[in-house]
Amino acid sequence: MNLEWDDDRQTQEKPSLDATLTALEAQDEGALSATIYYGLSDLGPAEVDRLKTVWDRLSVDYRRKVMQELADASEANFELDYEAVGYLGLDDDDAGVRAAAIDTLWSDESPVLLERLLKLAQWDESGSVRAAAVSALGRFILLGEYEEIPQADSVRAQDVAVNLLTDEQEDVEVRRRALEAIANSSHEIVPEAIEEAYHGDDRLMRVSAIFAMGRTCDDRWRDTVLREMSSADPELRYEAARAAGEIGLSDAVPLLGRLALENDRETQEAAIWSLGEIGGREAMRILSALAERAQEADDDVLIEAVDDAIATASMAGDDLDFDLFDFDLDADDEDDED
């Protein structure tokens, strides 16, 4: 995302709709301006009608760019509300815009969105949109597990996910997202579906199987997750690192410490997050050593990730009466080499 959320911008007043639409039409490439980010937030029905007249004149590539960047912005700044723009995007002629619109509505848990997602997941002509829709249905499946939506709605979402998962004619991208979605539930198909995907021939389904193992929070997958943390495939290592934290595998802590030193930032952050989720003395020692290293490197992103993980680990209430910085990651690596 191109807009940085500093204190000044977070308190910026919302531009007028006229100024916003002028900026939107004038800027068909490059980074989006703050006027567009703030002006498109929290639109009413009449404002959406005016936006649509401009929106339809924008190029397809630009509509995709705007919608995806709004999705990113809404996750970076919770004060921004692009719900109205997201629903506008669900009806766009372009599949890329529709898929990005689903991302924009990532926090929406309304029955209205559930109905739209059920239809898009089953009937949209684009595989990418069906995949995005069934992935988003995972949120509603999880809400059903917590009994926060009517059971009938949860069952409908589960049924759609299972039907897409078991449809051998469906795109792999759709089937893998359906597996990830249904893994949020206690549905009887989940263990067998994960096993089948993991032992199948398709690499992407295998990656999603590891993701789904984490979603289940079931330690039956312990050995598989530990093994995949040393996989030669970086995507499998990433998913295994994340799954270790979701399942709470204390045996994974030493491996997570090594993955936290990887050059790949996503895997590094996943390992750090999992160390925080697992907690305990060894995880805290590793996190504290990582915090010192991040400070020395002046790496603000890594500092924040480690700080968050330490805070999470501390919430476990362990009696951590030791010197947090008495841990040398480099020495640990040297011991492994010996």
Residue 2 domain flag: no
Give the domain-ending residue among 60, 79, 105. Answer: 105
- % of the chain surpassing 70 pLDDT: 89
- In this structure, is the dihedral angle defined by the CA atoms of residues 245, 247, 248 and 251, taken in order, positive or negative? negative
Mean pLDDT computed over 57-73: 95
Query: Are residues 324 and 288 located together in one domain of the fold?
Result: yes
When pLDDT is averaged across residues 332-337 and rounded to a whole number, the result is: 50
The residue behind tokens 């619109």 is 101
Structural domain boundaries, residue 29: 7-105
Instruction: Tell whether 228 and 193 lie within a shared domain.
Output: no
Q: How many domains does the chain have?
A: 3
The CATH number linked to 131 is 1.25.10
- Whichever domain contains 305, its CATH number is 1.25.10.10
Question: Both 25 and 82 in a single domain?
Answer: yes
Q: According to the model, what pLDDT value does residue 328 have?
A: 55
Per residue in 170-222, pLDDT tens? 999 999 999 999 999 999 999 999 999 999 999 999 999 999 999 999 999 99
- Please indicate, yes or no, if residue 1 is contained in any of the structural domains: no
Query: Is 90 exceeded by the pLDDT of residue 86?
Result: yes
Task: Name the pLDDT band for 8 (thresholds 50, 70, 90).
Answer: very low
pLDDT tens-place string over residues 250-264: 999 999 999 999 999
What was the pLDDT predicted at 31? 77
Q: Categorize the per-residue pLDDT at 27 as very low, low, confident or very high, splitting at 50, 70 and 90.
A: confident
CA distances from 337 to 34, 93, 330, 333, 334 (A): 50, 56, 11, 6, 5
- H-type alpha helices, the chain: 7-10, 17-26, 34-39, 45-55, 60-76, 83-90, 95-104, 111-123, 127-145, 151-165, 172-182, 190-199, 203-216, 222-228, 234-247, 253-259, 265-278, 281-297, 300-314, 329-337
Q: What's the confidence (pLDDT) of residue 323?
A: 46
pLDDT value of position 1? 42
Find how far residue 326's CA is from the centre of its chain: 34
Q: Which residue has the higher pLDDT, 153 or 262?
A: 153
What's the length of the chain? 338
